[in-house]
Structure 1
Amino acid sequence: MNKYCIYIVLLIICFSKISFGAEKIVLATGEWIPYTSESMTGYGLITEIVTAAFKEVDIESSYRFLPWKRAETELDNGNVFGIFPYILTLERKKKYNFSEVLVDSKGHLFYYIPSKKVKKDFNWKTFSDFKKYRTGGTIGYWYEKPFKEAGLVVDYSVSDEQGIKKLKYGRIDILASEERVGWQLIHKLFPEDIEKFGVVKKPLNKDELRVMISRNYPDSHRIMMKLNAGIKKIKANGKLKRILQSYRIEN
């Protein structure tokens, strides 16, 4: 009888571990090469980081690739745990929670050299200094509000890719874009004209990319704590460093 009871207890423990290990969550992201893309192995740099962090704490993550605005709607409705990569802002912090830092990021103003309208040493002081140029950006990005407050009339695109094309064909003079994303798109779209693009030396911003987390997703606080624990683990055990190195990034 005792042996039978022990056997039952062991089965329950094993089943519990299997069930716990099978916990699954859903996140959303979009096309933002090299950070996230449905066409990339592992779905891109940051998706690989998020997957590795969750794996460390026995959570299986799956991803829905959506337009950014729709992803935010899904987040608001609690249909996804989080969306990424996002920058923490005071406005967003009022509504969402945020994970630990995944990777550092820099934004820059890109320009097309043959247009001869912008120079690398453009020493802007405030966003209002951009008024003398036709400025381009991407819908839904962090700079929409500060650009509006600066009185800029911005030619917004639905994607960074569309913005790079506008820059190449002279529809805008400068494009606000994340540095790695911008150069990746230039290599993809215009491989024979890479040297004809430039970035203004002064960064547009220096920030940290994170998972932006819904407060309406079931048990989101517990999952957030586990995600943060997973991020700390992959930083400590070298897995994060190896992922970054696979993308030739030192961070």
Structure 2
Amino acid sequence: MGRLLVRCCPLVWLTLMAFAEAQSLQLAGDRWPPYVDTTLPGDGLATAIVRSALSRAGYSTEFSQVPWARAVRGVAEGRYDVLVTVWYNEERNGFGQHSSGYLTNRILFWRKQGSAIEFNRDLSALKDYPIAVSRGYAYSPAFVSAKNLLKVPVRNFAMAAEMLVVGRVALALEDERVGRQVLSQSPRPMQDQVEPLDTPLAEPDLRILVSLKRPDHDAIIRGFDKAIASMRADGTLQALLGQRPARPAPAP
């Protein structure tokens, strides 16, 4: 009996180690404050939400902040299990599985304070206005395909805001939270001189992408989606967004 236990222990240990490894996920994302940023609490808003949901689903996580191209390639190759911030993209279905949306991005036009420019979902009405767009940013398909718009490529929204203030462009495009984050760290005059328009260009859902190299990718997605639904129901998601405190869990 003693010999049997000794022989069984290594097998049990290896089984437990394999299970622990299966329950651990390597997360990746590129710097995109306030959503992903290792200098912010929880490594950013999106990272904190994703970690919380995956923890609720029974997974431990480790996060790596890497450039976007490296993060995408790493998920495709299986070096990372989860990309924490993606919009739905059919091409990525070849190497990853998308979750349902866990957050909504409001992509807004921004203008100089006092400008009379408005946006009522008619892109053709903006054809005479130079619009600052960040290089490599995926805006709405309608905007990307519009050939009659004056799109001015810029490095980032901070640069776009400066150009708005001095009149080099009439509009800029940026996610609402990102724009407010950038302006909050800008000199006070700029904060007071740049404002968003009310009507969004687009409101894509933010999702995670799980590598198809994970044999349990479907289970991870199902667990994540279920956890996000429960976080919405009990107020945890709203609390992470700073909207209201979470309700205490009901007594067993």
For normalisation by structure 1, the TM-score amounts to 0.77
Most deviating of 61-70 and 157-166:
157-166
Question: Using the alignment, how far apart are the partners of 1:140 and 1:32 within structure 2?
Answer: 13
The answer to whether the Cα contact below 8 Å between 2:112 and 2:194 also exists between their aligned partners in 1 is yes
Q: Decide which of 187, 208, 211 is 2:208's aligned counterpart.
A: 211
Q: Which residue of 2 aligns with 1:27?
A: 27
AA at the equivalent of 1:227? F
Question: Using the alignment, how far apart are the partners of 1:173 and 1:139 within structure 2?
Answer: 17
Structure 1 residue 218 displacement after superposition: 5.1
Question: Using the alignment, how far apart are the partners of 2:244 and 2:176 within structure 1?
Answer: 12
Q: Which residue of 2 aligns with 1:108?
A: 108
Q: Which residue of 2 aligns with 1:131?
A: 127
The secondary structure found in structure 2 opposite 1:154 is: strand
Structure 1 residue 158 displacement after superposition: 4.0
Most deviating of 137-146 and 54-63:
137-146
Q: Which residue of 1 aligns with 2:198?
A: 201
User: Alpha carbons of 1:150 and 1:76: their partners in 2 closer, same or farther (altered >3 Å)?
Assistant: same
Q: Which residue of 1 aligns with 2:86?
A: 86
1:51-100 per-residue CA deviation (whole Å, 9 max, x = no partner) reads 11111122122222223333333333333223232222556557642112
**Percent identical:** 22
The secondary structure found in structure 1 opposite 2:86 is: strand
Structure 1 residue 150 displacement after superposition: 0.7
> Unaligned 5+ residue runs, structure 2?
246-252
1:195-249 per-residue CA deviation (whole Å, 9 max, x = no partner) reads 211112221112321113333455423322232233233334432232122xx47
Question: Using the alignment, how far apart are the partners of 2:138 and 2:188 within structure 1?
Answer: 28
Structure 1 residue 179 displacement after superposition: 0.9
Please say if 1:51 is aligned against 2:47: no
AA at the equivalent of 2:199? K
User: What is the Cα-based RMSD across aligned positions, in Å?
Assistant: 3.3
Q: Which residue of 1 aligns with 2:97?
A: 97
Structure 1 residue 178 displacement after superposition: 0.8
Structure 1 residue 176 displacement after superposition: 1.0
Give the structure, 1 or 2, with the largest relative contact order (CA under 8 Å, sep 6 or more). 1
User: Alpha carbons of 1:187 and 1:24: their partners in 2 closer, same or farther (altered >3 Å)?
Assistant: same
User: Alpha carbons of 1:41 and 1:98: their partners in 2 closer, same or farther (altered >3 Å)?
Assistant: same
The secondary structure found in structure 2 opposite 1:97 is: strand
The answer to whether the Cα contact below 8 Å between 1:119 and 1:200 also exists between their aligned partners in 2 is no
Q: Decide which of 123, 145, 154 is 2:151's aligned counterpart.
A: 154
Q: Which residue of 2 aligns with 1:172?
A: 169
User: Alpha carbons of 1:139 and 1:82: their partners in 2 closer, same or farther (altered >3 Å)?
Assistant: farther
AA at the equivalent of 2:25? I
Question: Using the alignment, how far apart are the partners of 2:220 and 2:189 within structure 1?
Answer: 46
Q: Which residue of 1 aligns with 2:250?
A: none
User: Alpha carbons of 1:128 and 1:157: their partners in 2 closer, same or farther (altered >3 Å)?
Assistant: same
Structure 1 residue 188 displacement after superposition: 0.8
Structure 1 residue 18 displacement after superposition: 7.6
Please say if 1:65 is aligned against 2:62: no
> Unaligned 5+ residue runs, structure 1?
none
Q: Which residue of 2 aligns with 1:189?
A: 186
1:131-178 per-residue CA deviation (whole Å, 9 max, x = no partner) reads 211111223333275334211342233433343344344432211111
AA at the equivalent of 1:97? Q
Matched residue count:
239
Question: Using the alignment, how far apart are the partners of 2:170 and 2:42 within structure 1?
Answer: 35
AA at the equivalent of 1:213? V
The answer to whether the Cα contact below 8 Å between 2:128 and 2:150 also exists between their aligned partners in 1 is no
